Amino acid sequence: MTKPEQQKSGKQELAFKKGDIIYREGDYEMCLYDILFGSVALYQNYGTPDQIPIKEMNTGGYFGEMELIEARPRTTTAVAKEKTRVTVYGAEDFSACFTEKPAMVMAIMQQMSARIRELTRDYNEACRVVAEALAAEKAGREKSASLQRERQMLSDLYDAQAKPLGSE
C-alpha cells in the first residue's frame, strides 16, 4: 500500500483493516479522504491515557480536509473501525474537484459547516453555564437546581468524550 504522502499526483484508493491507523496526529500530509465504505474514528492523543474520541465518520463521509485546506499538520489520528476503503485526494486532485466534482466540494463544505455550527453551539452553552456558576459563587448564592443539572450534563458530556468511541 502506498502512503498518501508518497503520492505525487492522481487520486488513489486504499484499503484498511479494522484497527489500521490511516494517519497519525502530527503527520504532515496534503490530502483528504473520501470513505467509499466502512468507518473511521478520529482521535486526539490516540493510544495514550488522555485519548479523546473526536468524531466517527461512515461511508460517504470525508476527513482530513482541514489539514489539506490549511496546509498544517494533522490534529487527529484516524483509525479504521472496520474493513474500510477510501479514495485519497491530494492537493492537485482536490483543486480539480472544484470544476469536475462541484457536488463533492459542496458536500465537504456542508460537513465542515455542520461541524463548526455544532462546536459553536456546544462552546456557547459551556460558556453560559460556567459564567452562571461563577456569578453564583461570587454573589455567595447557592447554585440553582437548573444550573447544577446543566453543569452535571456538561460534566457527563465531557466524561463521555473521554471514553473510547463505541465502548458502553
Both 72 and 30 in a single domain? Answer: yes
Task: Kindly state whether residue 66 falls inside one of the protein's structural domains.
Answer: yes
**Band (9; pLDDT cuts 50, 70, 90):** low
Both 21 and 77 in a single domain? Answer: yes
Structural domain of residue 124, as residue ranges? Answer: 119-161
Number of compact structural domains in the chain = 2
Distances (CA, A) of 34 to 13, 60, 82, 135, 146: 9, 7, 15, 46, 43
Task: Kindly state whether residue 166 falls inside one of the protein's structural domains.
Answer: no
Its pTM surpasses 0.75: no
CA atoms of 10 and 90, how far apart (whole Å): 7
For the segment 86-124, what is each residue's pLDDT rounded down to a tens digit?
A: 999 998 888 888 888 888 889 888 988 888 898 888 888
Give residue 160's pLDDT.
62
